[in-house]
């Protein structure tokens, strides 16, 4: 594969073309990611973007800086969505709003924690993403890596299950 001609740039092989692109852009791409993404795996984001570039080179398609920086932005967005997903699945890290009435006898946090614990994991995840993390259905579906239609149906079922559990708490 290293001897395959990937484009018409003086007969450069795929490996040579990638090496040139990598040498010209790696340090600048790393600085770009560090400026725009203060916390996280900077090297991993850049490496993922270069992997996409390598795949495009192997396909014989042209690559350029504007395209590559868009790939970097997409990879940073992926990392942010994953970070939000990791946070959203940890009930202890959530900051629930304070109970409006200090004299209220119901601890909202404990009640919600118990209700979420009684739900199926799939239902708890979708409710958490939409209502606690304030994500759109499309974003939440991409975080869970499921089709948007599947997510909407799962959210509908999760709402119904949550309401049943909530009625049980109110009545009991």
* pLDDT higher at 19 or 170: 19
Average pLDDT over residues 59-69: 90
- C-alpha Rg value of the chain to the nearest Å: 23
Higher pLDDT pick, 114 / 21: 21
What's the predicted TM-score (pTM) here?
0.48
pLDDT value for 101: 52
The CB density around residue 123, as the number of other CB atoms within 10 Å, is: 20
Residue with tokens 């795996």: 41
Q: How high does pLDDT run on average in the chain? A: 79
With 50 as the cut, is the pLDDT of residue 3 above it? no
CA atoms within 13 A on the CB side of 110: 4
Mean pLDDT over 106-116 rounds to: 72
């Amino acid at each position: 594969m290293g001897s395959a001609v990937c484009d018409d740039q003086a007969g450069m092989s795929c490996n040579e073309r990638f090496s040139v692109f990598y040498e010209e852009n790696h340090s600048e791409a790393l600085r770009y990611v560090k400026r725009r993404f203060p916390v996280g795996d900077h090297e991993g984001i850049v490496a993922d973007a270069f992997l996409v570039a390598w795949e495009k080179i192997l396909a014989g398609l042209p690559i350029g800086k504007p395209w590559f920086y868009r790939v970097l932005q997409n990879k940073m967005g992926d990392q942010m969505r994953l970070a939000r997903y990791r946070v959203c699945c940890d009930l202890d890290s959530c900051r629930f709003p304070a109970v409006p009435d200090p004299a209220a006898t119901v601890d909202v946090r404990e009640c919600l924690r118990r209700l979420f614990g009684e739900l199926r994991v799939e239902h708890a995840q979708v409710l958490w993403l939409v209502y606690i993390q304030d994500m759109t259905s499309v974003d939440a579906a991409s975080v869970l890596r499921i089709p948007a239609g599947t997510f909407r149906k799962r959210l509908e079922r999760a709402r119904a299950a949550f309401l049943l559990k909530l009625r049980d708490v109110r009545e009991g």
